[in-house]
């Protein structure tokens, strides 16, 4: 069919053949070629042109799995639905899932045995009937077990995670070199952006390569004590990526799946000490402190049962962290902090120092804040970052080598006053309209933050784009969207 589904195994039958064989839309059939058999979901082709009678159209995943070629003769038989369908129905009815049931669901997700709609029902079931802590732990273990595992044979293994929703907030790229420079091991896997202007992997990719097989990742860590790589290339907890894609479409975040998703990735890299950052504020994933405290207790509870040291920090999420928003602008902020440049964003630096101090305390390091500052001010953190960039086949060590979008729009205020609010969602949306994260040089640079005084005609933020047309789209979006800044 020359179409990839991106996961589920699908084949299309001509409508007349389907009627003859009493096969219906979304039934399962087994396709057999020689000794190879694959179970696939059926689509029905209404058009003779798409799939002629007597033929079967297979999508790329099935072609690859069975090594099929055009005109090959194959056999088909009706197959039963995956076992996990009944378990998903049980969860929809409010039931509690057992270990074998959760293991089977995750196995079927990883091996593309569930159709998109069946996977969606599982995500929806866990959203409306939240999993218990015990179910969440079982889901975490099942997700970690169905992918690669990084074993470094070291203790402690440091990790951190931010649950997201906050523009900027590029703490990982400052924390990793500080922790690694002290001699601790921190194998950091990061995500690309889903709905934000940049994920950590997008920003790191401005400086170095981020896609590596797990063996090469291991070599980088042994050489430098740390890494900042894209988790998607490592097959760590692969069920998680499929679940996230469904959540993104539905724009939901099931708490149990959020917890399992994060902890499964940490389990996969054998982390022993994990710092979790929960930003709280409008426009973020967690709106208030009550929600954050509930999530904090859940993380700590799961950490205890998985025999991991988990520390949760509830941080200010009412405005972006740092000045740059977008891959290149965020990478530049990071290098300014590591190089101790006067243009460094102080709010991002303060947060990184605070988080790093907590990590050091977790592993019993005394005078942690002083030691973090010494590593930063002595240039050891920057030196370590250069080692990591080099090990990850990168060549950008200086912010002056980072290409920022050549088209620029300065946005100024028309009144005197004080910045009282910055709308995270509007800022993120404008940065994405400008081209981030696909266009690495696109994004927004903030000149002002909440509580800053402004004068009439003063710049409050600048938009950068690699395209004049996209800058025009930004102007249109600004006219239609909520104000990015409130000034009173």
pLDDT tier for residue 329 given thresholds of 50, 70 and 90: very high
Q: pLDDT tens for residues 332-372?
A: 999 999 999 999 999 999 999 999 999 999 999 999 999 99
- Range with the poorest average pLDDT among 190-194, 211-215, 304-308, 414-418: 190-194
Strand partners, 16: none
Output the pLDDT for position 178.
98
Output the pLDDT for position 453.
96
**DSSP SS3 for 401:** helix
**What letter would DSSP give residue 399?**
G
Higher-confidence position of 46 and 312: 312
Output the pLDDT for position 369.
97
Is it true that the peptide bond before 113 is cis, omega within 30 degrees of 0?
no
| Percentage of residues of the chain with pLDDT beyond 70 | 100
DSSP per-residue string spanning 433-459: HTTTTTSTT-EEEES--TT-EE-TT-E
The CATH 3.90.1170.30 portion of the chain extends over 407-487
Q: In what order do the strands lie in the sheet with 158-162?
A: 158-162, 273-280, 309-316
Output the pLDDT for position 191.
85
The CATH 3.40.1030.10 portion of the chain extends over 158-234+263-399
State the Cα torsion 178-180-186-191 to the nearest 10°. Answer: 50
Q: Reply yes or no on whether the pLDDT at 3 is more than 80.
A: yes
Q: Name the class of domain 158-234+263-399.
A: alpha beta
Output the pLDDT for position 377.
97
Q: Reply yes or no on whether the pLDDT at 284 is more than 80.
A: no
Please answer whether residues 441 and 207 qualify as being in contact, where contact means their C-beta atoms are separated by less than 8 angstroms. Answer: no
Output the pLDDT for position 402.
96
Output the pLDDT for position 224.
97
* Residue whose pair of structure tokens reads 């003779």 in the numeric block: 48
Output the pLDDT for position 193.
83
The residues carrying an active-site annotation are: 253
Q: Reply yes or no on whether the pLDDT at 88 is more than 90.
A: yes
- The residues, any chain, with a CB within 8 Å of residue 132's CB and separated by 6 or more, are 96
Output the pLDDT for position 231.
85
Which of 26, 34, 43, 24 lies closest to 65 in space, CA to CA? 34
Compute the distance between CA of residue 268 and CA of residue 161 in angstroms, rounded to an integer: 14
The CATH 2.40.40.20 portion of the chain extends over 10-79
Q: Reply yes or no on whether the pLDDT at 440 is more than 90.
A: yes
Output the pLDDT for position 281.
87
Mean pLDDT of 151-165: 91
Q: Are strands 324-325 and 309-316 parallel, antiparallel or unpaired?
A: unpaired
pLDDT tier for residue 111 given thresholds of 50, 70 and 90: confident
Please answer whether residues 240 and 161 qualify as being in contact, where contact means their C-beta atoms are separated by less than 8 angstroms. Answer: no
Mean pLDDT of 8-37: 92
Output the pLDDT for position 331.
97
* Average pLDDT value over all residues in the chain: 93
Which of 396, 1, 347 lies closest to 169 in space, CA to CA? 347
Mean pLDDT of 392-404: 94
Domain 407-487 belongs to what topology? Aldehyde Oxidoreductase; domain 3 (3.90.1170)
pLDDT tier for residue 86 given thresholds of 50, 70 and 90: very high
Compute the distance between CA of residue 277 and CA of residue 348 in angstroms, rounded to an integer: 13
Which of 443, 341, 199 lies closest to 333 in space, CA to CA? 341
Output the pLDDT for position 442.
97
Output the pLDDT for position 296.
95
DSSP per-residue string spanning 264-277: HHHHHTT-SEEEEE
Higher-confidence position of 115 and 173: 173
| Percentage of residues of the chain with pLDDT beyond 90 | 79
Which of 413, 423, 404 lies closest to 464 in space, CA to CA? 404
Q: Reply yes or no on whether the pLDDT at 253 is more than 90.
A: no
CATH tag, 10-79: 2.40.40.20
Mean pLDDT of 309-334: 96
Output the pLDDT for position 308.
94
Output the pLDDT for position 433.
96
Q: Reply yes or no on whether the pLDDT at 177 is more than 90.
A: yes
Compute the distance between CA of residue 320 and CA of residue 318 in angstroms, rounded to an integer: 7
Mean pLDDT of 428-438: 95
Angle between helices 289-305 and 133-145 (to 10 degrees): 60
């Amino acid at each position: 069919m020359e179409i990839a589904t991106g996961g589920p195994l699908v084949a299309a039958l001509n409508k007349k053949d389907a009627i003859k064989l009493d096969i219906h839309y979304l039934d399962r059939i087994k396709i057999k070629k020689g000794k190879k058999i694959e179970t696939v979901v059926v689509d029905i082709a209404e058009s003779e042109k798409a799939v002629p009678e007597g033929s079967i159209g297979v999508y790329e995943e099935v072609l690859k799995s069975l090594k099929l070629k055009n005109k090959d003769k194959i056999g088909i038989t009706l197959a039963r639905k995956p076992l996990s369908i009944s378990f998903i129905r049980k969860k929809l009815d409010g039931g509690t899932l057992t270990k074998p049931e959760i293991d089977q669901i995750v196995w079927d997700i990883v091996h593309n045995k569930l159709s998109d709609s069946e996977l969606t029902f599982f995500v929806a079931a866990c959203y409306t009937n939240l999993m218990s802590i015990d179910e969440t732990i079982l889901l975490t273990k099942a997700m970690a077990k169905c992918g690669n595992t990084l074993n470094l044979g070291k203790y402690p293994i440091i990790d951190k995670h931010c649950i997201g929703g906050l523009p900027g907030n590029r703490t990982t790229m400052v924390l990793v070199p500080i922790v690694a420079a002290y001699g601790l091991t921190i194998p950091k896997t990061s995500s690309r952006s889903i709905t934000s202007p940049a994920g950590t992997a997008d920003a790191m990719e401005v400086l170095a390569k981020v896609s590596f097989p797990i063996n090469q990742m291991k070599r980088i860590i042994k050489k430098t004590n740390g890494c900042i790589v894209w988790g998607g290339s490592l097959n760590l907890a692969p069920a998680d990526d499929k679940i996230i894609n469904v959540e993104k479409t539905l724009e939901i975040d099931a708490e149990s799946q959020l917890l399992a998703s994060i902890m499964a990735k940490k389990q996969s890299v054998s982390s022993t000490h994990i710092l979790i950052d929960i930003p709280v504020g409008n426009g973020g994933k967690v709106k208030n402190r009550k929600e954050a405290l509930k999530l904090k207790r859940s993380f700590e509870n799961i950490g205890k049962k998985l025999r991991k040291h988990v520390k949760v920090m509830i941080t200010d999420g009412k405005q972006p962290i740092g000045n740059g928003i977008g891959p290149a602008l965020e990478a530049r902020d990071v290098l300014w902090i590591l190089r101790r440049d006067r243009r460094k964003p102080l709010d991002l630096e303060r947060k990184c120092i605070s988080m790093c101090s907590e990590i050091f305390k977790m592993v019993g390091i005394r005078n942690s804040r002083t030691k973090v500052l010494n590593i930063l001010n002595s240039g050891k953190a920057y030196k370590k970052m250069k080692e990591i960039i080099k090990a990850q086949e990168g060549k950008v060590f200086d912010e002056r080598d980072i290409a920022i979008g050549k088209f620029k729009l300065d946005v100024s205020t028309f009144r005197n006053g004080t910045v009282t609010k910055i709308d995270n969602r509007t800022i993120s949306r404008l940065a994405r309209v400008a081209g981030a994260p696909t266009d690495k040089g696109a994004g927004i640079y903030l000149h002002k933050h909440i509580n800053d005084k402004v004068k009439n005609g003063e710049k409050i933020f600048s938009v950068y784009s690699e395209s004049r047309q996209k800058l025009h789209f930004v102007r249109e979006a600004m006219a239609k969207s909520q104000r990015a800044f409130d000034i009173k």
